Structure 1
Amino acid sequence: MLAALLSFAACEPKKQLSPWGDRSTPPLGLFVERPDLARHLVAIDAESRAEGLTPRNAYVATGRDGTAFEIRTFERRDKLGRTTYATRVASRWGVVLAVGPLDEDDPRTIATRFVESLPADGGASMQLPTDLNADGFPDVVLASDDGRMAVFTLAPRGAIEIRIDLHGGFRELRMLRAGYALWTHASDAAEPSTERIAPKYERIATFDAGAFVETSAAAQTWHEERARALTEAPENESVVGALDRKLERAFHRALATSKADARERILDELETQNPSDEALRKVWESALDNLATEIETRRAKDRKKSR
């Protein structure tokens, strides 16, 4: 009898133990994300303390869907005594952006310092972050030690760096009918003994097809308008002032077109307008060479765009 009972017990199937209790499958709630901005900020604070970072400022921005982003900035000294920066951005879904601090052997061209504001039209100042590419989400601008700037667009679950194709990088913002534009300028300051030719070559890049580019239709329209504004000579314009204006107008006309032969004709026109003063003529010729170099960067961009 005992043998029969033992035999029966051995044949009885063993009960499987489930990590989910009496359920054979996990509950759906285990796979549901739990938004918690406070928890992610605690994680940022813990990581920053472990990295020896000193907290500086905090900023809040909101996306079109109501997602709140908290931006926190930090500093620390590296072993060489240089100030290094770090920027962290969190949403309720996680840490969406984390850059810096740089180590001693990292290139100083990496943008890690949060930019609070940028110069804008008419001497105004644009507070950041703001929506630069009109996608409904805030954009963060970071700067490197050598002055280069990068733009990151924030999203609920991540951040993407926006490509910027603008010769010389950007320094300021401009507001156009088409939206924000990144702006920069280069000055050609050749100096003879008594006169100075110093045109200011302004460039902009507008958001087009996922990037800020200076070959966009909006940028070309802006250059056309700038060229028209420089057509008429102001009252009591000096000789040098007239030369500056002619160079700047030619520059804007050249960047307003994508046709290489049209740009060549613009340069040819200027070569027939040499000043009569011999000393000034030498500076003018140098300025024409510099202008041709500035315009050549546009030709390279057109070739790249056509590929």
Structure 2
Amino acid sequence: MLTPAGRFAPSPSGDLHIGNVRTGVVAYLWARWSGRAFRWRTEDLDRVREGSGERQLEEFRGLGVRIDGDVVTQSHRTDLYASACDDLAGRGLVYECYCSRRDIQSAPSAPHAPPGAYPGTCRHLTEAQRGEARARLAAVGRAPALRLASDVREHTVEDTMLGSVTSHVDDFVLRRGDGVWAYNLAVVVDDADMGIDQVVRGDDLASSAPRQAHLCALLRLPVPEYVHVPLVLGPTGARLAKRDGAVTPAQLAVHGFDLWAWMGESLGFGPWRDIDDALMRFDPARMTHEAVVFDPPPLTAAG
């Protein structure tokens, strides 16, 4: 699978709304435009709704998206994440964290760190203090999380759409206290293993890219090209959500909604007829850099 490739990697937590679908289609078009393969990954380490992953994949196949290679499922790959974490731990770059969310929220912030950044509370504990903290968690049926001992304060990546993106890099979680491998570690390991050298996704995830690029460097993995594309917003200007009304392709089909025409228009290309028309006319240089507001029709009994 080590072919230059793009990807779409939805979480199977429910049906995709048209903003998610549009981002996935753009990822496919950008990969094909740049001569890359296109892969699909199901990110099921956290929330999973039965059957939604299969529906998401079939929806894209119904749109004409052609997936290269096998579908990759994160829950089948935990040994890869453990190996990467062991590599970091062997170099003294991992430590146990015993903090709850409330502990982190109430702790004083580190200088120059944004709100919510982890202040390193557990990084320099003594072995005796660690033993006491482990016992305290074990008494209530909890286990410590694992955090990266970051050696930088911030990191910068060059994004094809956004230019330079700089974000604070704190000691972020690698494995949660419940044993679930964290998003930042899993996507970095997966992208490298799958030959993904182009990551096209919504610009709400742009602030994660510096963390992930820094982790790539620590794991001696290639840093992909990052392309963060504008979101679809709901009528209030917040991210489009299912509570806004009819927002999934199936719900909108009840209203006679032309998904291809809307996607082309919303991206600045004029209406597309189908995937072949989109592939022929797609050009990143012409694509809008602005978010689009979508005011969905109401849900109907049929939708």
Q: TM-score, normalised by structure 2?
A: 0.19
User: Per residue, is there more helix in 1 or in 2?
Assistant: 2
Which protein, 1 or 2, shows the higher relative CO under an 8 Å CA cutoff with sep ≥ 6? 2
Q: TM-score, normalised by structure 1?
A: 0.19
